[in-house]
Amino acid sequence: MAPPGAVLLLLLATAAAAGRYRRLHPVSLHGPAVKTFSAASAVSCGLRCEAHTPQQCSGFIYAPDDSTCRLFSGDCRGPAVNSSQQTTERYMARSVPSEPAVGRCGCPAGFHRCAGRCLRQLDLAVNHTTAESQCAALGAHLAVPRSDEENQCAAAAAATAGTRAVWTGLIELPAMEGVYTGADGCGAVPVQGRWASLQPDDGGPGVAEDRVLIMSTGTVHAAGWHDNPAGARWQPLCQLALGYRPGCP
């Protein structure tokens, strides 16, 4: 039990950090923290976050009870939250002052808002490696649909793609068959109920299919998620790492 003085100090410290952080609702996070360590206060936790770029650290959770400071990347909060698992932990989302003045629900040029995320589909079908670097050149990563809404956004993008499919930022972990991690840095991605009929099939003997695309209707393939080899060519769907706005359609 912390003495009243310590509680007051924490409140002051949190208020001092308020200008550089937005306090969001209590959350729980599916993904692992990028970094976890012990810190004396919320302010020192915030300073550790600020020692990184906004892409590397988009916010933190400080637990005064055990002095645990956890840094997160890529606005990991959001649809990863399972509301029935909410805790009283306070996620402090880092303010990004250089964010373009595009209004609350706007996105930078070329990107459109969907389910709170900024997305951009590229025109050319390329392999997964090239898709990743093309998104990175835009300050983004391949899209990682975690919620039903985000999955619908990705499926809608696939429906308008020339190839009727888009690459996602899901990669099957080499040592863990069936576990897919997200390019958003927020850990394992829930995959239940997303796969197209007969997927994932790992491509059969001798073929490693460890990347995931979203197929729309209107092809010979079943609609839904498919595993494919990294060398397959599909259109990239990029997602901005920062600037998640939970209240925006």
Residues near ligand NAG (CB under 6 A) are 82, 84-85, 127, 129-130, 230-231
Residue pair 144/237 in contact (Cβ under 8 Å)? The answer is no
Minimum separation from the CB atom of position 174 to Ca ion (A): 17
- With b for 16 or more beta-carbon neighbours within 10 A and e for fewer, the 100-127 pattern comes to eeeeeebbeeebebbbbbbbbbbeebbb
Residues near Ca ion (CB under 5 A) are 201, 209, 226-227
Q: Between β-strands 165-172 and 235-240, what pairing exists: parallel, antiparallel or unpaired? A: parallel
Q: Which CB atom, from 98 or from 192, has the smaller least distance to ligand NAG?
A: 192
The entry of Ca ion, ligand NAG, none that residue 227 binds, CB within 5 to 8 Å by partner kind: Ca ion
In this chain, which residue has its C-beta nearest to ligand NAG?
231
Minimum separation from the CB atom of position 197 to Ca ion (A): 11
Q: What angle do CA 33, 38, 39 make, to 5 degrees?
A: 110
Q: Which residues contact 205 (CB under 8 A, 6 or more apart)?
A: none
The entry of Ca ion, ligand NAG, none that residue 87 binds, CB within 5 to 8 Å by partner kind: none
CA atoms within 13 A on the CB side of 237: 35
Q: Which CB atom, from 184 or from 209, has the smaller least distance to Ca ion?
A: 209
The entry of ligand NAG, Ca ion, none that residue 82 binds, CB within 5 to 8 Å by partner kind: ligand NAG
The entry of ligand NAG, Ca ion, none that residue 147 binds, CB within 5 to 8 Å by partner kind: none
Minimum separation from the CB atom of position 136 to Ca ion (A): 25
Q: Which CB atom, from 55 or from 130, has the smaller least distance to ligand NAG?
A: 130
Beta bridge partners of 112: 119
